[in-house]
Amino acid sequence: MHNTVKVTDKVYWIGGNDRRTSLFENMWPIPNGISYNSYLIIDEKVALVDTIEFGSSDDYLDKIEELIDGRTIDYLIINHMEPDHSGAIKTIVEKYPDIKLVGNLKTFKIIESYFGYKDKWYQIEDGDELNLGHHNLKFVMTPWVHWPETMMTYDLTEKILFSGDAFGSFGTLDGGIFDDEIEFEEYYKDEMRRYYSNIVGKYSNMVQKAFKKLEGIDIKYVCSTHGPIWRNDVNKVLSLYDKWSKFETENGVVIIYGSMYGNTAKMADSIARKLSEQGIKKIRIHDASKTHISYLINDIWRYKGVILGSCAYNSEMLPTMENLTRTLEHMGVKDHLLGLFGSYSWNGGGVKALHKFYETIQWELVSDPVDTKGIPGNEAFDRCESIAKAMAEKLKE
């Protein structure tokens, strides 16, 4: 069958790739596109696990019809109601009017506001099971990973975890669907971290609670709603999410700055060079006015050291830096080493505003902030060196 893939004997991937959308959720750049994964279990009863974004695949119904060969769909299991997975619910219900929609009470509150369909609700609770014949499905509530209604469906028979958005990734599936068919480290790992840090990261404590619920469960397959299916090295994807949700980082430094006329940028380059001389190899510099915030957050999630710089702008920091710091506060990002620097021409404010961010976020400040008037000279660069040395010492500890 064209464009469907067998996961196991009775379970099929019927997803699709979106290479046309520029911004996922109308916010996050997806230069490598994204996949929408939906799964069909063909047993004595037929169950569809999540749907896809409306209009993202014009042959979605054709795939289902060819696979079920004249039968109906008995259950639509809704692990997550966000429209990139619930977008085809209306189409499915119209095509299979006797279908039961399987979800928890919070799922149905959202369904009611989107579609109604009260006569089709099949409400389940945490730990409930649904028998399809050969397959026996168990429902695991994982609220706030990353909406209040999110849950996972675990197939007790074949040890498949249908995990919703958890363990997902940006990036289309270019031929390879399974983890053993792709170059994960080269093509997906960075985009998976960017997906996690920006979309799920705020709820890291809830991800840890979800892990507690999954403890001791034998998982042979992880079938997420975005990105590859894991069957060969399931532990890899589980351990990455575990690490990211504990804010465990690599020993490197990301320097992010806002600079109008290049003075603050010079300071960023100076700090980076001094870090390099101290033996730090993992260093990334970003101009916050050019690089999309999702990439900035991704590198902050990756590296232990964060050095932020801003020129003064209307007695505050540059708006792009203000947006970044506000977002980090909102997400509650933890456990970083912090350095602060900046410059001004007639009245400060940038570094002062960055210091207020430090007081709120409560990361460890490695040295006194550096605030320079005018074009930075030797004295300013010497003070920048003190930030670099202090950061390198802390990282080496």
Residue-wise pLDDT for 58-77, tens only, equals: 789 999 999 999 999 999 99
> Contact, 275 vs 306, CB < 8 A?
no
CA dihedral 223, 224, 230, 234 (to 10 degrees): -100
Q: Measuring CA to CA, how many Å separate 5 from each of 61, 230, 317, 351?
A: 15, 14, 51, 54
Residues of the chain with CATH 3.60.15.10: 5-245
Residue-wise pLDDT for 284-330, tens only, equals: 999 999 999 999 999 999 999 999 999 999 999 999 999 999 999 99
Which CATH architecture describes the domain 250-396?
3-Layer(aba) Sandwich (3.40)
> Contact, 16 vs 52, CB < 8 A?
yes
* The predicted structure's pLDDT at residue 339: 98
Neighbouring C-beta atoms of residue 352, cutoff 10 Å:
18
Residue 1 scores a pLDDT above 90: no
Q: What is the DSSP letter of 178?
A: B
Q: How many Å apart are CA 384 and CA 42, to the nearest integer?
A: 63
Tokens of 390: 């202090």
Q: How many Å apart are CA 176 and CA 156, to the nearest integer?
A: 26
DSSP for 43-63? SSSEEEE----TTS-TTHHHH
Residue-wise pLDDT for 133-142, tens only, equals: 999 999 999 9
Residue 154 scores a pLDDT above 70: yes
Pick the CATH number of 5-245 from 3.40.50.11540, 3.30.200.20, 3.60.15.10, 3.20.20.70: 3.60.15.10
Residues of the chain with CATH 3.40.50.360: 250-396
Q: What is the mean pLDDT of the chain?
A: 95
Residue-wise pLDDT for 254-280, tens only, equals: 999 999 999 999 999 999 999 999 999
